[in-house]
Amino acid sequence: MLPVDKRLLIKVAQMYYLENKNQHEIAARFGINRTTVSKYLKKAMLAGLVQISIANDEYEDLENQLEKTFGLKEAYIVDKAADLGKAGIRFLRRVITDGDIVGFAWGKTMASVADAAMAEACDPISADMIPLVGGPENVDSEYHVNTITYKVANAFKAKSHYLYAPAIAGSVEAKEIMTQDANCRKVIDLWERVSIAVVGVGTPLRHSNLVWSGTFGKEYVDALQEAGVVGDVCSRFYDVEGRVVDTVLTDRTIAIDLETLKKANYSVGVAASPEKVPAIYGALRGRFMNVLIADAATARLLLAFRSERHNPGSG
């Protein structure tokens, strides 16, 4: 190719990048062929005459740091906890495909995801939506896993399945009977094929947590603390390093087990609040989620918590 002056490179680049002219139009304008236009554009880029910048998202660095620190597929950070539901459903809209089996946990945060689904314009999808855990008896109906599953499935015009069983059965024998029911068995069998799981992170050690302290009493919550429990996902307990903690409730729990949960292509944890930081950290350490949706304040506290555990006394 003959040497080309800077002036022509700038003109070609300006027409292409600023005036949205295609390469055929530029070639006709300057009496050259399309291949030459392509070479001129590349030369202009290499010469520094064209500088393309991508606007930084406010939380790009924070998300990148979380992804690298915890080996996440994606971190999705929002301004405030009130935005979690909308973020959760927008993530789901992006990744869901026909044939997926999508599972949900119960709770207030999960309810916000379901409410956001009802408000968003979700494209119809041929997918199955299922509960990942039974429904605690002493929660408001809007936080119940069947309600959440119904709302999201309805928003996507997908098929919904329901689990007519508690998260914790009254006894091991009661669990055995309930899990042999045809309805229960159908959902439990689908747990092995879950491709997307959307879960919250519980903090059973809070004495204000009515699900655990209200059902089993303060003594049981104290016993969890002594066992090193920091959080629960789908009513399965674990410690701060992500090790599953067996309790007297383990054999009575009707929920996907955490090893099965880890097999999902996307295990999406939606959680925020300073008091949940150790529980979120434990869930990430245990690899119970590979996507984290959180608010900025929680994300920063999570990184600080991790730094303190790895570098005690620093700062």
Q: Is the pLDDT of residue 201 over 80?
A: yes
pLDDT band at 208 (very low <50, low <70, confident <90, very high): very low
Q: Closest Cα partner for 165 from 152, 149, 146, 151?
A: 146
Q: Tell me the whole-structure pTM to 2 decimals.
A: 0.81
Calculate the alpha carbon distances from 312 to 35, 158, 301, 306 in Å.
Answer: 60, 49, 15, 10
pLDDT score at 100: 97
In this predicted structure, what is the pLDDT of residue 223?
77
**Nearest Cα to Cα of residue 132 among 148, 116, 151:** 148
pLDDT at position 1: 45
Mean pLDDT score, 68-89: 95
Report the candidate in 86, 85, 97, 109 with the shortest Cα–Cα distance to residue 265. Answer: 97
- Per-residue pLDDT, 18: 87
What digits encode the pLDDT tens for the residues 155-179?
A: 999 999 999 999 989 899 999 999 9
Contact between 231 and 280 (Cβ < 8 Å): yes
SS3 breakdown of the chain: % helix, strand, coil, rounded to 5?
A: 50, 15, 40
Spatial separation of the C-alpha atoms in residues 122 and 56, rounded to whole Å: 27
The residue ranking higher by pLDDT, 247 or 243, is 243
Residue pLDDT, tens place only, 39-75: 999 999 898 898 876 655 678 899 999 999 999 999 9
- Asked if 53 contacts 90 with a C-beta cutoff of 8 angstroms, the reply is no
Topology adopted by domain 6-46: Arc Repressor Mutant, subunit A (1.10.10)
Higher pLDDT, 141 or 153: 153
Distance CA 126, CA 129 (A): 10
Give percent of the chain with pLDDT exceeding 90: 70
Q: Kindly report, residue by residue over 119-136, the tens digit of the pLDDT.
A: 988 999 999 999 999 987
Tell me: the pLDDT tens digits for 272-296?
A: 999 999 999 999 999 999 999 999 9
List C-alpha distances in Å: 134 to 38, 55, 187, 209, 234. 60, 44, 10, 18, 9
Please, is 75 exposed, middle or buried when counting C-beta atoms within 10 Å of its C-beta (0-12, 13-18, 19+)?
buried
The span from the CA of 98 to the CA of 78, in Å, is 28
Q: Where are the domains of the chain?
A: 6-46, 60-310
DSSP 292: E
CA atoms within 13 A on the CB side of 310: 9
User: In terms of pLDDT, which residue wins out, 120 or 88?
Assistant: 88
Around Cβ 185, how many Cβ atoms within 10 Å? 12
The CATH fold of domain 60-310: Rossmann fold (3.40.50)
Region 244-250: mean pLDDT is 89
Residue 214 has pLDDT above 80, yes or no: no
pLDDT bucket at 7, cuts 50 / 70 / 90 = confident
